[in-house]
Amino acid sequence: QSVLTQPPSASGTPGQRVTISCSGSSSNIGSNTVNWYQQLPGTAPKLLIYSNNQRPSGVPDRFSGSKSGTSASLAISGLQSEDEADYYCAAWDDSLNVVVFGGGTKLTVL
Amino acid sequence: QVQLVQSGAEVKKPGASVKVSCKASGYTFTGYYMHWVRQAPGQGLEWMGWINPNSGGTNYAQKFQGRVTMTRDTSISTAYMELSRLRSDDTAVYYCARVEDTAMVNGGDYWGQGTLVTVSS
């Protein structure tokens, strides 16, 4: 049972826009920044969004993040086949004193 | 370019210990924290803790307290994560990640390729 809640799966067709939600509480998302990671099969996680809505250099602007209250979301526009991956949200938790992750969302491009 | 290269896969028996290394290059090793995250087969990510390569200071998730030890050797820009009293549920891929701070506020911007540790009798 993950501290941050994500839908286990999401899907879309090429060119579509999809969003992935991440729900937490006042001790994590509510008081700290959210980061998003993309994990392609068999590879290490890659930082996709940091500090709620910032993209590291090299990440296409098709990827965007937002946060409101105790929830965050990742949006992917202009969906491409290479976006098929697992996506994880993460944040520091002030009560548990750990970095907490969502359970991950498997994105399928139909 | 920044690189984190981890040691190879390990197979251990229950009760044994494993030590995974993470060699950093392309940046000032002592300028960033090194966090460790693991991922059991088919499961999500789990944070284990961090080491400050500059001071050697550490912080471990309570779940691993007493079983995990993170160390570093600044002369070879390498961080280590040792996990003792291994159990079958410690079977996972272990990752090191370069991080600016203790709480991963801005995330881990570079990750090692991962080290599979299999615990089996």
Above 90 in pLDDT, residue B100?
A: yes
DSSP string covering chain A: --SBB--SEEEE-TT--EEEEEE--TTTTTTS--EEEEE-TTS--EEEEBTTTBPPTTS-TTEEEEEETTEEEEEE-S--GGG-EEEEEEEEETTTTEEEEB--EEEEE-
Tens digit of pLDDT for each residue in B5-48? Answer: 999 999 999 999 999 999 999 999 999 999 999 999 999 999 99
- By the CB < 8 Å criterion, does A87 face chain B? no
A53, closest residue in chain B (CA to CA): B106
Which of these, A25, A31, A14, A17, lies nearest to A80 by C-alpha position?
Answer: A14
With tokens 């290394």, the residue in question is B21
Which pLDDT score, from 0 to 100, does residue B93 have? Answer: 98
- Answer for the pair B35, B49: CB distance below 8 angstroms, yes or no: yes
A76 token code pair: 């992917």
Of B47, B106, B112, the CB nearest to A44: B112
What residues does B106 pair with on adjacent strands?
none
CB-based contact A101 B112, cutoff 8 Å: no
pLDDT over 90, % of chain A: 99
- By the CB < 8 Å criterion, does B61 face chain A? yes
CB-based contact A99 B47, cutoff 8 Å: yes
- By the CB < 8 Å criterion, does B113 face chain A? yes
Instruction: Summarize the confidence of residues B82-105 as an average pLDDT.
Output: 96
CB-based contact B107 A2, cutoff 8 Å: no
Above 90 in pLDDT, residue A1?
A: no
Above 90 in pLDDT, residue A80?
A: yes
Rg, C-alpha atoms of chain B: 13
pLDDT over 90, % of chain B: 97
* Average pLDDT, rounded, for chain A: 97
At B78, is the pLDDT very low, low, confident or very high (cuts 50, 70, 90)? very high
With tokens 């946060």, the residue in question is A67
A9 token code pair: 């799966």
A59 contact residues in B (CB cutoff 8 A): none
Sign of CA dihedral B96, A92, B45, B71: positive
Instruction: Summarize the confidence of residues A61-89 as an average pLDDT.
Output: 97
Instruction: Report d(CA A80, CA B119) in Å as an integer.
Output: 38
The number of beta carbons lying within 10 Å of the beta carbon of residue A61 is: 8
Instruction: Report d(CA A103, CA A83) in Å as an integer.
Output: 18
CB-based contact A51 B46, cutoff 8 Å: no
